[in-house]
Structure 1
């Protein structure tokens, strides 16, 4: 699961605080150990040497208690006066931890004699444990404070970004408006101004596209009305032969498709998400057969085999104008890029596929062929862009692959 910027910033701040506190705690522990080793042992060593010099003439076993230390001078072979936990240590300083307390002792050997200075460190050990406990409590409190502080700091640091994100979300539902927040003159302010400028340009471009679509739709209605009037006149004044009626029917069907597509593209430019609601549902097989009839004469004139392969049923119900625009653009592309061979329109239970044996699409162009103005051949690169836009708006799946041994496969999954 991806973490938000706020969460990642909190983690970084918490990790920094924990790391610094642990380093400080370790440094404190090391300082205590260094203080104990260097100061106490040096002090014990100096006191022991002083006792050795003072009692150098003493030839009898000696046990001399002092305030918090006890000095022992004993023959090496007779150490019964030395408490058992302190026997057998080599020369140097040592720490002895017993059930009744903690002791530091320093041992010095002379020929036939052993000198031992024992210092009771129980009080210091209690202070040491208190220091370690206090340090642990301070670290835990520092972690708690750091957690609270990291949350507060991350919110303050990211507050302008969060406010900008909310305003950007508002712009999605209220295009053309301006950002209302007052942003500082830093990276966040630069981002806000840049995004506002980009959103304004995009809105102006969308307005121009909608105006052009509306104007084009309005202007095309007049010549289409003229064509329809001419068709009606030809039906009345024509000879009425079967071939003539067939051609007039094809022209009228093409005109009807043109009118539907003009209305469709106008609707796509205004409210693409609602385009299917204004469309007429029709069985896929029936729609595909009508599209094939429109392109069959062109395929016959070029000597191409145009085949419709259907299943046992009529397929799913699809929006007629939208799906017809997709099929017509795919067949037009296949005809334009196939010099010889065959073109097949295959229908499945929830998909359609156009296969051709044409020139195919180069691998370096295949990844970008859906973009507007990018063509796999000599065309204008609009057909697949229109198909991709309709599929994106309707949630259909569009895939392009190479056909074997030559050509292209374009599949639409509903």
Structure 2
């Protein structure tokens, strides 16, 4: 394999043709987002309205009460100064007035120390009485050197009303939030129905005819209709591209098979002649193997272009031995041992052409980058391990090994376009196999081809 030598103490994790993809994070459906947005909008608006209502009520009520108390305590003080012996007649039942002359200041400090401590102004006082009942009142304080005046405005009923109003506002927030949720659900259903219909029709085309029915006529001339029109245009262009690709692949396959058939026939005729020279015989056999490899590759590529599986079954050991024999004839004196080990009876549900291309690329890379030592093809269970003694595998190579056109660090000036492992990956996707590579125990690379269970 084309790769750097990895440290035996720290090796990259095995890399597979499918294992590099990461699943996108889960996103909430658009319909759910619309419903949640409506519910949050309803809740925020009603909560804001409830807060504004309560704040306005409290502010207005407090301002009105303080205005009444200020006017009454001023009137009370004026009447007291005109006739200290007579208590002024106040027309409000909720108001109690208290006036203390200078000689009674000490009495106030003893009986009502909290009142005596207040400076002139308005105050809110709350607590519980001797019967453990809550009370609340507003207290207006006016102090002169000659007299102290206190005006108490009973707010107990107002506080109870405020609590009832708060409960009513809370219930209103909950009710309107629920109504917003229902409205959001209904609106999302209406808004998303055309989009859902469009998605359903697109799913129905999966695996259907090559010329799907146009989508745009089934939708109104709005945003969804424009999207359907754009999808129709894209589908039309994509269908044309796929059709041209299939026609090109079929034409290439047909045109290449004709000269290959000629080569095969001529080679078989030459091999049938008696008394051939050993070197001529070897070259003819090499031509014959090359013709078979080209035929297998063309057949596999044609099936890949059509996304169709070939029919047939293959003995893995027999195909592996044929591939190793072909590479033994091409070693050219390289001190490299090619060995087949393990189970000889493994049969898979795939044509020999597909297995030959997939396994041949793994073996070919192992032979190419191993200058000495051995390349072992080990068959165990339902998998094949190709173990080489090459330079190893770097983390950078491992991350990009199955990308089309990528050539490893050790590729150098060797021949090849970097598409062999990409073809292997596509074959694995087509037949349900798995391919992976990892560093060897000492050096080199172990490439594993795992077949789908029967």
TM-score (norm 1): 0.79
1:176 aligns with 2:211: yes
Residue aligned with 1:56, SS: helix
Partner of 1:96: 126
Q: CA deviation at 1:233?
A: 3.8
Partner of 1:73: 99
Tell me if structure 1 keeps the 8 A contact 2:314–2:355.
Answer: no
Q: CA deviation at 1:313?
A: 6.8
Give me the whole-angstrom Cα distance separating, in 1, the residues matched to 2:336 and 2:98. Answer: 117
Residues 1:223 and 1:398: Cα distance change in structure 2 (over 3 Å): same
Q: Identify which range, 287-296 or 399-408, moves more after superposition.
A: 399-408
Deviations 1:185-225 (A, max 9, x none): 65x56654444433333322322232233333334444444
Q: CA deviation at 1:161?
A: 3.5
Give me the whole-angstrom Cα distance separating, in 1, the residues matched to 2:226 and 2:376. Answer: 53
Q: CA deviation at 1:87?
A: 6.4
Q: CA deviation at 1:147?
A: 0.8
Deviations 1:300-332 (A, max 9, x none): x15151433534675574634322210112223
Partner of 2:236: 200
Tell me if structure 1 keeps the 8 A contact 2:314–2:347.
Answer: no
Give me the whole-angstrom Cα distance separating, in 1, the residues matched to 2:384 and 2:424. Answer: 13
Tell me if structure 2 keeps the 8 A contact 1:281–1:317.
Answer: yes
Determine which structure has the larger helix proportion and give its number. 1
Deviations 1:371-399 (A, max 9, x none): 44444444123312211111122233333
TM-score (norm 2): 0.73
1:269 aligns with 2:308: no
Give me the whole-angstrom Cα distance separating, in 2, the residues matched to 1:222 and 1:163. Answer: 49
Give me the whole-angstrom Cα distance separating, in 2, the residues matched to 1:344 and 1:47. Answer: 109
Partner of 2:170: 136
1:45 aligns with 2:73: no
Mapping of residues 9-408 of structure 1, within 5 Å:
9-60=34-85, 62=87, 66-68=91-93, 69-74=95-100, 75-78=104-107, 90-91=118-119, 92-96=122-126, 99=133, 102-111=136-145, 113-174=147-208, 175-177=210-212, 178-180=214-216, 181-182=218-219, 184=221, 186=223, 191-230=227-266, 233-234=269-270, 236-239=272-275, 259-272=295-308, 274-275=309-310, 278-282=311-315, 284-299=316-331, 301-308=332-339, 310-311=341-342, 314=345, 317=348, 319=350, 320-337=352-369, 342-356=374-388, 367-376=399-408, 377=411, 378-401=415-438
Q: CA deviation at 1:164?
A: 3.3
Residues 1:79 and 1:366: Cα distance change in structure 2 (over 3 Å): closer
Residue aligned with 2:126, SS: strand
Give me the whole-angstrom Cα distance separating, in 2, the residues matched to 1:59 and 1:369. Answer: 106
Residues 1:193 and 1:342: Cα distance change in structure 2 (over 3 Å): farther
Unaligned residue ranges in structure 1 (runs of 5+): none
Residue aligned with 1:298, SS: coil
Let me know the Cα RMSD of the aligned residues. Answer: 4.0
Give me the whole-angstrom Cα distance separating, in 1, the residues matched to 2:366 and 2:337. Answer: 10
Residues 1:165 and 1:289: Cα distance change in structure 2 (over 3 Å): same
Residues 1:389 and 1:6: Cα distance change in structure 2 (over 3 Å): same
Deviations 1:41-74 (A, max 9, x none): 2321221121011112444584856332222224
Give me the whole-angstrom Cα distance separating, in 2, the residues matched to 1:229 and 1:270. Answer: 29
Matched residue count: 406
Deviations 1:222-277 (A, max 9, x none): 444444544554465424999998887777666566555544443333343x43xx
Give me the whole-angstrom Cα distance separating, in 2, the residues matched to 1:402 and 1:346. Answer: 16
Residues 1:313 and 1:335: Cα distance change in structure 2 (over 3 Å): closer
